[in-house]
Amino acid sequence: MDRPRYRAPKPLGSWPRLPGPLMWLLFATVAEAQRPNVVLIITDDVGYGDLSSYGAPDLRTPNIDRLGREGVRLTDFYANAPSCTPTRAALISGRYQQRYRLEGPLSGPSTASAEVGLPATGRTLPQLLKNGGYATGLIGKWHLGYKPEFSPSAHGFDYFFGFKSGYIDYYQHTGGDGRPDLFENATPVEVPGYMTDLTTERSIRFVEQNARRPFFLEVAYGAGHWPYQPPDRPSTARDNARHLVPHDDDPGTRADYVAMMERADRGVGEILATLDRLGLATNTLVIFTNDNGGEWLARATPLFNRKFTLWEGGIRVPALLRWPGRIPAGQVSGQVGITMDLTASILAATGVSIPPETRLDGIDLIPILAGRTPEVERTLYWRTNFAGISQRAVRMGDWKLLVEGGNLEHVFDVRRDLSERTDLAGTRTDLAKRLRALLIAWEATVDAEAKALQR
């Protein structure tokens, strides 16, 4: 794997002569300062077409869009899954979530989900960064387990402020079962404020407190996940924050959703301003993406369908990366990518040691986005069986096979037919056979590993 490491300091012979201990102290200080910081910003249940730079006509996201103007915007980037927990498991592990049997969102701590979570292997993204000398922080949503052995700290996060459930009352800070769900590290806390604003404030504090050392910060906004509670209108979410759907009375509006997302965008702007103020922007890789497709108030245009499905609207998501001096500004890239590629890219960019047994499933995208290597063809896989939806999919190059149920197969050219309106299964049976074989082989591999893990 092509790993762009941090720029080495000047050879010692070219430095001014200083006493030996001072020379090595200066050398180590410069080397440490040149290791890039990483800020990874993830929103929740946001549609592919919900950013201004992705065509939204009614939602203003100037700060998120700034990352694309000053870096690169990807058109063909995917979440690892059409729902929260599986995608986040792939991000933290760098591997297909099926290997850990995390294929649907965990429910509340009072359910059987309380016993389930992402196992801490010692090789997860935050742990490897921590081992490499990085300060590591997660602000916002976790959703990878409630027990201590599944907690953010067990995976290598030095600091955690946020919630463990899939969603939270933005004002009362309770989860779907009505229980308080706001933590600082392992301690339940009560902090007044709108959850999106608290996420921004704690993220800025983390950057300020770690400005003199390399840091990795995951900013996991709850917006625009339900409950649809806009800012500056304090209220208690109805029915313990139950997901309100179109046929409900007073279910929420697109205007509410827009206000929630624009507040998150404002938070992104405040975080970027903090990097500027502290002189950290030029040495910080900033990434923005989303965990899965949007819900019914989101905008998927021009894609079809939404969250929980493996149609493009359920898994194709926005992704923008900025790394001044490393990624040229103002690019739009059609390179196919997926959430776990971000894991590989961050580890490569920071130059931390990756044990061979980590076995990352993603690839380092930075050399491609930096223009050092050409785009590569990808073959990516998905599987979901949740909320009454059973689907499998594979994308190889521009071709996608979507299997619904057992044998309802669709074949699409998703480069030219983004909306998946022209099913080619009847004319490209060759592709259906080839892609189906790849999908079956992948399933056998990940299921065998998951089975071995359960022993």
Mean pLDDT, rounded, for 176-193:
96
The lowest-confidence range among 13-22, 124-133, 299-308, 374-383 is 13-22
In SS3 terms, the chain reads as CCCCCCCCCCCHHHCCCCCHHHHHHHHHHHHHHCCCEEEEEEECCCCCCCCHHHCCCCCCCHHHHHHHHCCEEECCEECCCCCHHHHHHHHHHCCCHHHHCCCCCCCCCCCHHHHCECCCCCCCHHHHHHHCCCEEEEEEECCCECCHHHCCHHHCCCEEEEECCCCCCCCCCECCCCCECCEECCEECCCCCCHHHHHHHHHHHHHHHCCCCCEEEEEECCCCCCCCCCCCCCCCCCCCCCCCCCCCCCCCCHHHHHHHHHHHHHHHHHHHHHHHHCCCHHHEEEEEEECCCCCCCCCCCCCCCCCCCCCHHHHECCEEEECCCCCCCCEEECCCEEHHHHHHHHHHHHCCCCCHHHCCCCCCCHHHHCCCCCCCCCEEEEEEEECCEEEEEEEECCEEEEEECCCEEEEEECCCCCCCCCCCCCCCHHHHHHHHHHHHHHHHHHHHHHHHHHC
Mean pLDDT, rounded, for 290-319:
98
Percent of the residues in the chain that have a pLDDT greater than 90, as a whole number: 89
pLDDT at residue 442, as a whole number = 98
Q: What is the mean pLDDT of the chain?
A: 93
Q: What residues act catalytically? A: 84, 143
Mean pLDDT, rounded, for 118-147:
97
pLDDT at residue 19, as a whole number = 60
Percent of the residues in the chain that have a pLDDT greater than 70, as a whole number: 93
